[in-house]
Structure 1
Amino acid sequence: MKKHFLLILFLLLATVVEANPVKQMLERFQKGLSNRFKIEIRSSFDQGDYFELYGGGRKVTVRANNYVSAAFGINWYLKYYCHAHVSFCEDRLPDLPVDLPQVKERHETVLSDNFYMNYCTFSYTTAFWDWKRWEREIDLMALSGINMPMAMVGAEVVWRNTLLKFGYTLPEVKEFLCGPAYFGWLLMGNLENIGGPLPDEWFKEQTVLQKKILARMREYGMKPVFQGFFGMVPSSLKEKYPEAHLVEQGLWNSLQRPPVLDPADPLFEQMAKVWYTEYEKLYGKADLFGGDLFHEGGKTGGIDVTDAARRVQTAMKQYNPDATWVIQAWLGNPKKELLAGLDRKHTLIVDLAAEFWDNWRKRKGFDGFPWLWSHISNYGANIGLHGRLDAIATGPIDGRKDPEASPSMKGTSSTPEGIEVNPVVFDLLNEMRWRSEYLDIDTWLKEYSVRRYGAEDENLKKAWIIFHRTAYGTYSGHRRPSESVFCAPPSLKRDKITASAWSQCRIFYDPDLFAQGVGLFLQSADHLKQTSTYQYDAVDFVRQYLADLGREAYYNLVDAYRAKDTKQFDYWSERFLQLIKDQNELLSTHKCFFVGRWLDMARSKSKQPELQDLYEHNARMLIGTWTETLSPVRDYAHKEWGGLLKDYYLPRWTNYIAYLKGTLEGRSLTVPNSFQVEKAWVNAHNKYVLETGVDPVETAKRMYRKYHI
């Protein structure tokens, strides 16, 4: 009897050991893959993260100090020994050989943290994700070594529960909250009451979704970052509590910002206590909280900033003595007087856009406050090829070697405004926490091409060296991707034309050299056209090539118009419009570049037609006009997407060029009001269906050959 009991106990323990999240994740990627790895979790004596790889043949052993380190170690092996590649821009994960390559490696790091996501990501990319998509993303996080993800799904439910305890009715709460596509800016204190009102079912379903997200993150041992209470409150709070000291924040890009409740006001402590209590009731306990006082031009209103910061952090620590305030370093924040009120041991600064600004260096490691080296790389989930690879490869190493900044450097971070673009950037950054010396980018990119496409192909390697010299280069003044002029509101601004208000359509690199790289890349099409990662990149690289040609055509049509050269104007205008049509045809061959995918995700969040329409309106407005009325953020989230090019961008350019043609002919015409055309698309509900049976690689080849003579 005793023997049977011990056998059952042994089997139960064995099951617990085997049923770990890394094993389960490997099975989700490929059936049977978990059987090829033995995973051993053993604590590190020096408390640093590490992973060891050894063995081969039937099974490789992975020993690490936690599940995230183990997952990253497996990904390292898959990348560098099996030439595999997983990303949010398609995977290439072939069946592993019967005899796995032999390995004996150990990697360790003194950098404890790898932070991920941006408030904007929860709007520009994840707004309408379901559990299936979130599950995959969390798996990708683990494989990438990300252990500190933002977890902002369902924060609107905390707002609902909190405000209901302070005299609000549910309709009043909904009047404050925004629609699903705009939560990122609500949480940053940039806006309120846009895109709503939210239906009751949204709160319920997002609560369920967030609980699944957090359960999986915690299984991996990740440390989710919740939203902290930093004083942002509804504008209507002044009606409920007229004696409360509210600091008005003015406008953000023509939108009313919610005020900040002075942390010295007694009401602040009361609301903070309820906020953290309600958060824990819904989603469990957390140690990390985001939220930024005076974000993007916020006003201090004469309050004592040092005292305010101290009180915000004190409220966190009263809830949880181990709480850490995660603060974004952005546009001068956090100011020294704010940091003066904080406990360094309970503060973490994420240096956004360190690949461009190097605030960590200028501020000497933020004067000893713990900080992370972070890149943004993507703005508005725009599609352009971009990634300052040299800066990303050197910046974290510079931070580790800097005598003033390195003592307080705690890790690396990716904080893009949108994801599912430029996979090479994230692949590189997520390795940097584990590297202590500089690497040769060209060598790394050659290896990247092998694992990305599964081929030792010299043309692909040469192409990637050229992409490094062009679109993925690091240039002075080049913080954002070069925008596609196809997506720009029509004008004659020429060199100064932009799609969004804070960027440019100029090209920082040699477009002829880039075109040469695309040509080399496409020479491998015949034997790689069925490879999903190659399909994605072929469409993306030719898309960039056509966008570059669009700039040339636009410049020439402007020059011809100014010179009153009707013949040249007709030629370049026709070419420009045809390029938009061809771009639309190309991007309509791949789901990842097709507007229907985004709109379908939005509609899938409900089964009720009227709510489907609400969510779709949110999705359309965000990538189009952004707001109901004309504002500076119009087209900020522009997309070169199939369907959107045809129905949103092409009509306004067609109308504008017709207007220019008419004025050349001597007619007195009014400049077309393209905003009305844009609003019509935003308010529409026409269906977009991806055409099946069309080969994306063959289409990419055809478009390239059409123009590259």
Structure 2
Amino acid sequence: MSSGDGEQVPGWADTVRGLAHRVLGPVAASVCFAARDGDGRGYAYEAAAGVLTIAATDGVSASVALHHYLREHCGLSVGWDTELPLAVPSLPAAPRREGTARVREGYYFNFCTFSYTMPYWDWADWEREIDWMALHGITMPLAVTGHEAAMHAAYSELGLDDRQIRRFLGGPGYLPFQFMGCLDDFAGPLPASWIESHRELGARILDRERAFGMTPVLPAFTGHVPREIAATARAGRRTWQGFETWVLDPADPLYARIGAEIARAQIKLFGTGHLYAADPFIEMIPIDADPAYPGAVAAATLAGLLEADPEAVWLMQAWPFSYQRDFWTKDRVTAFLDAIPDGRMLVADLWAEHDPLWGEFEEFAGKPWLWCALLNFGGRTDPVAGLRGVPAAVDAALAAGRPPAGLGLAMEATRNNPVFFELVADQIWHQVPDVAAWLDAFVTERYGRPGRGIEAGLRAAWRGLLDTVYGADGLRISPDRFKGVLTANPTYAWTRDGGAELRAAVAGTLWYRPAVLARAWERLIDAAEREPGLVAGPLGHDLAEAGIAYLARVADRRCVEVVESGGDPEQVARFLKVFEDLDRMLACRPEFTFRHWEDKALSWAAGPEDRAVLRDNARRIITVWGTVDSPLLDDYAGRHWAGLVGGYYRDRWELWARGLAAALAGEPGAEAELARRLRERSEDFLREGAAPVEPGDLAAESRRLHTAYAGAFGDVPGDVPGDAFGDARGDVSGGASGGVAGGADPVLEDER
């Protein structure tokens, strides 16, 4: 490297060298690292004679440099599902290249992510994830694994016994919701073995993140306390989704004391980077309507943190300001934020890709803030996003008078819609002026330059996805919108007026032409058949997602046909067969199976009692979520997984079909009888789970489904008449961004 780059070996070098070895295998020995001076985050790299030299300001920037080199000179990227190590026999030459981060921080995770994606991860899973974080510029990850150990220690000091504390903490699959103050004493008690095992895992995660130079954000006290403490303190009741909890009055000195006890216990166990996440109002209106009350909560929260850590900075998600706008008026938000010194709070604008709050609240009254993308709710596996609008939204934030301190990925679950999150993460370091050009590069790097003909077909496939499922710009993508019948809890409300309500809901899921999606899916299948080795990696994930996207809309259509036919048995059979066929395809990919999820949960069991709790948590949260009697969160975390689609979901729709004739005839007890049967099916699932499924050949199953269903909408590529139910936004000319409108198929000649 030229002068200006330090000669000394930086402290993070061994950590990044370990990452390089996991990514590259033996060739990583030819990567050298050096320190680089600079106020912000930056790097420089060059490669010659088979040696890559990277100089960087910190370990994350060095990891980003390695990833940028691999993408730019090897045509390879590292995604969540990339097979490692990469097939790089030697390091090609590269001229000096410098990079500077556009923002100081890259934030990652949401409390919910730790329930919906990684509650049962082990160190191998976490090591892979932390590598992904470093390669993508994440510097500020939320870190909640093992926090239960800090809470156990703090409440022990406060006089509670082990049994009381573990009951309060509840089931391991629900711990993040406990940490947010949403529920307690639910789906547990917490196994004793869990606390120690996850204290060790949490410490190991934090050690690795810090070794890269990341500053993890640790949980903090929200005012939520066990009933034993509430009984002798000034405390009030509050509810979240039907769950009742107790919260301390901020005027009670115990509020700050407990906050300090938990922070001290956490620092003793895990150390600190002085960043703490607490959301005392997450989806819960403050229990006191006094406008000064939120400020009092803020003062007590901060007082407890500062008593334990004088350098503490509080990170809060701005989600309440969006979720409960009727309460959180501009005056209330401003009063709350003004109660906290500017240097003591960092605000995460959680859903900024759809509902940005930074402009509405004047960049959060001078507080440092993070622009975050959310997209995914509950870990749902629907392939959907609005890609084209994201760069403009980021650029607008960075051009603000007080721009964000960082960009973040705040999804409720990872491992879905990777293209969206890769696009957001890229903008930590690069501006993206042209999404179509970015997408072409993404395809090349995702599949590793699979060959000119195959690559052309894959690029065309992704342009089709961009014009369909990934062209949802301007649409609200959230759980309170109809997501399709596959994972929906059946109801006879949809049969009114000859199914008009169902037809309207189904129309809202088709803002694009099904034929364009079918052709994109087919191109992915073509690539899988021509290059079978790609299927084990990202292409297999993309095949599954494309199949879900198309078959979900077929299921919607066939459900409408069942209602319109009055429950004709042949139409019912056609409808239920979609579930069976999709289940068979999903079984080919482990991460799309229920069994994979449950097995990971049970791997933590130390005995029969642990197994019972872990099994229940794994089954419950992705189905009824709470109790079988409460509809409030039922199917919130619905997944297109083998064992669920062809079992649990199919069975529910079969029960619906059995009573459909009675419902259409207006029999008054039909809905109540359906509810009873569905409740019984949920109870059966919680007891028995899903039957194991046999994996097959994904490319073959995908081809079989495409052959059977590609013409389900009566349209074909090159002659697209528009969807069968109209368009929810009045535009069927190719989706939000304009797409393939018929005529010549944009397939390059060499694709064939």
Q: TM-score normalized by structure 2?
A: 0.85
Identity %: 26
Q: Does 1:489 align with 2:489?
A: yes
Deviations 1:116-142 (A, max 9, x none): 000101101111111111111111111
Deviates more, 1:25-34 or 1:127-136: 25-34
Alpha carbons 1:41, 1:65 under 8 Å: kept: yes
Aligned to 1:470: 468
Q: What is the letter of the counterpart of residue 300 of structure 2?
A: R
Deviates more, 1:224-233 or 1:295-304: 295-304
Q: CA deviation at 1:383?
A: 0.4
Structure 1 461/261 Cα, relative in aligned 2: closer, same or farther at 3 Å? same
Q: What is the letter of the counterpart of residue 255 of structure 1?
A: F
Aligned to 2:236: 247
CA distance in 2, matches of 1:191, 1:668: 36
Structure 1 308/252 Cα, relative in aligned 2: closer, same or farther at 3 Å? closer
Q: 1:68 aligns with which of 49, 60, 74?
A: 60
Aligned to 2:560: 555
Alpha carbons 1:373, 1:413 under 8 Å: kept: yes
Deviations 1:258-311 (A, max 9, x none): 222122211123222211211112111231000112221232414632233123
Q: Does 1:545 align with 2:532?
A: no
Q: 2:380 aligns with which of 372, 379, 382?
A: 382
Q: CA deviation at 1:94?
A: 3.6
The 5 Å alignment of 1:500-515 reads: 506-515=509-518
Deviations 1:152-202 (A, max 9, x none): 011111211111222212211122111011112111111111110112111
CA distance in 2, matches of 1:264, 1:667: 56
Deviates more, 1:648-657 or 1:329-338: 329-338
Alpha carbons 1:122, 1:184 under 8 Å: kept: yes
Aligned to 1:320: 309
CA distance in 1, matches of 2:142, 2:198: 15
The 5 Å alignment of 1:231-246 reads: 231-239=223-231, 241=232, 244-246=233-235
Alpha carbons 1:53, 1:60 under 8 Å: kept: yes
Alpha carbons 2:32, 2:51 under 8 Å: kept: yes
Deviates more, 1:569-578 or 1:440-449: 569-578
Deviations 1:656-676 (A, max 9, x none): 112214667999974332121
Q: Does 1:675 align with 2:679?
A: yes
Deviates more, 1:178-187 or 1:161-170: 161-170
Aligned to 2:592: 593
Deviations 1:51-87 (A, max 9, x none): 2122244022211100001101111111222111222
Structure 1 217/703 Cα, relative in aligned 2: closer, same or farther at 3 Å? same
Q: Does 1:582 align with 2:581?
A: yes
Structure 1 504/234 Cα, relative in aligned 2: closer, same or farther at 3 Å? farther
Structure 1 68/19 Cα, relative in aligned 2: closer, same or farther at 3 Å? closer
Alpha carbons 1:152, 1:227 under 8 Å: kept: yes
Alpha carbons 2:506, 2:556 under 8 Å: kept: no
Q: 2:170 aligns with which of 178, 184, 192?
A: 178
Structure 1 669/362 Cα, relative in aligned 2: closer, same or farther at 3 Å? closer
Q: CA deviation at 1:417?
A: 0.6
Alpha carbons 1:626, 1:636 under 8 Å: kept: yes
- Number of equivalenced pairs: 675
Q: 1:698 aligns with which of 680, 697, 700?
A: 700
Structure 1 556/308 Cα, relative in aligned 2: closer, same or farther at 3 Å? same
Q: Does 1:429 align with 2:424?
A: yes
Deviations 1:320-348 (A, max 9, x none): 22211001011316822211111111211
Alpha carbons 2:108, 2:408 under 8 Å: kept: yes
The 5 Å alignment of 1:221-232 reads: 221-232=213-224
Alpha carbons 2:458, 2:524 under 8 Å: kept: yes
Q: 1:277 aligns with which of 264, 289, 305?
A: 264
Q: What is the letter of the counterpart of residue 533 of structure 2?
A: Q
Alpha carbons 2:352, 2:373 under 8 Å: kept: yes
CA distance in 2, matches of 1:79, 1:148: 24
Deviations 1:331-380 (A, max 9, x none): 31682221111111121111011000011122221122111110111111
Secondary structure of the residue that 2:273 maps to in structure 1? coil
Structure 1 662/307 Cα, relative in aligned 2: closer, same or farther at 3 Å? closer
Aligned to 2:71: 79
Q: What is the letter of the counterpart of residue 526 of structure 2?
A: Q
Aligned to 1:624: 623
Q: CA deviation at 1:513?
A: 2.0
CA distance in 2, matches of 1:684, 1:392: 43
Structure 1 389/486 Cα, relative in aligned 2: closer, same or farther at 3 Å? same
Alpha carbons 1:360, 1:405 under 8 Å: kept: no
CA distance in 1, matches of 2:43, 2:228: 52
Aligned to 2:746: none
Alpha carbons 2:409, 2:421 under 8 Å: kept: yes
Structure 1 99/280 Cα, relative in aligned 2: closer, same or farther at 3 Å? closer
CA distance in 2, matches of 1:657, 1:344: 58
Alpha carbons 2:389, 2:473 under 8 Å: kept: no
Structure 1 410/238 Cα, relative in aligned 2: closer, same or farther at 3 Å? same
Deviates more, 1:296-305 or 1:440-449: 296-305
The 5 Å alignment of 1:303-452 reads: 304-332=293-321, 335-402=333-400, 404-406=401-403, 409-435=404-430, 437-452=431-446
Deviations 1:444-495 (A, max 9, x none): 1111111111224222111111211111123333223872411111124257
Aligned to 1:654: 654
Q: CA deviation at 1:212?
A: 0.8
Q: What is the letter of the counterpart of residue 125 of structure 1?
A: T
Alpha carbons 2:582, 2:646 under 8 Å: kept: no
Deviations 1:21-40 (A, max 9, x none): 11111222342142232222
CA distance in 1, matches of 2:272, 2:399: 36
CA distance in 2, matches of 1:375, 1:155: 25
Q: Does 1:684 align with 2:697?
A: no
Q: What is the letter of the counterpart of residue 117 of structure 2?
A: T
Structure 1 174/31 Cα, relative in aligned 2: closer, same or farther at 3 Å? same
Q: Which runs of 5+ in 1 are unaligned?
A: 1-12
Q: What is the letter of the counterpart of residue 50 of structure 1?
A: G
Q: Which runs of 5+ in 2 are unaligned?
A: 1-6, 323-327, 712-752
Aligned to 1:610: 609
CA distance in 2, matches of 1:491, 1:533: 36
CA distance in 1, matches of 2:299, 2:12: 45
Deviates more, 1:629-638 or 1:315-324: 315-324
CA distance in 2, matches of 1:510, 1:686: 34
Deviates more, 1:89-98 or 1:414-423: 89-98
Secondary structure of the residue that 1:286 maps to in structure 2? coil
Structure 1 571/549 Cα, relative in aligned 2: closer, same or farther at 3 Å? same
Structure 1 307/517 Cα, relative in aligned 2: closer, same or farther at 3 Å? same
Q: CA deviation at 1:226?
A: 0.6
CA distance in 2, matches of 1:25, 1:217: 12
Q: What is the letter of the counterpart of residue 469 of structure 1?
A: D
CA distance in 1, matches of 2:395, 2:589: 37
Q: What is the letter of the counterpart of residue 507 of structure 1?
A: L
Deviations 1:397-436 (A, max 9, x none): 111112x342xx101000111111111112111111112x
Aligned to 1:536: 541
CA distance in 2, matches of 1:544, 1:361: 34
Q: What is the letter of the counterpart of residue 151 of structure 1?
A: A
